[in-house]
Amino acid sequence: MFYKISVPAVADVEEIRVLEWHGDVGHHFNSGDLVVELETHKAIVEVRAGQPGVLRRILSAAGNWQQIGLPLALLSDDDGDALPDGPDAVTDLAVEFEIN
């Protein structure tokens, strides 16, 4: 099954800059692992996996910008599954985010 990570709805934020992906395509994230750091105008947001998953496609590379609510990456339970065409019909990955 495929999942997407989208930019979390942080208060008072319209868009973010992707700072750093903590794993390349193919990386297995466990629950609690830091997946990506995002920068808002005020702070750094740490997005952690709320469930295990394999990073399959990065939609917004480090240094790129993305709006709140829009997708950043695709993940799957296993690395064998064929990628879907786009992120549209994909479920949200469970995540926890922390603002520093």
Q: Give, in order, the Cα–Cα distances in Å from 71 to each of 39, 67.
A: 15, 9
Nearest to 65 by CA among 38, 100, 34: 38
Q: Least distance from C-beta 82 to another protein, angstroms? A: 34
Considering only residues 46-75, where is the footprint of another protein by CB under 8 A? 65
Q: Is 40 in the site for another protein (CB under 8 A)?
A: yes
Residue placing its CB nearer to another protein in the complex, 33 or 39: 39
Q: Is 24 in the site for another protein (CB under 8 A)?
A: no
- Distance between CA atoms of residues 21 and 23, nearest Å: 6
Q: Is 76 in the site for another protein (CB under 8 A)?
A: no
C-alpha dihedral (95, 25, 90, 67), degrees to nearest 10? 70
Contacts with another protein, residue ranges (CB under 8 A): 12-15, 17, 39-42, 65
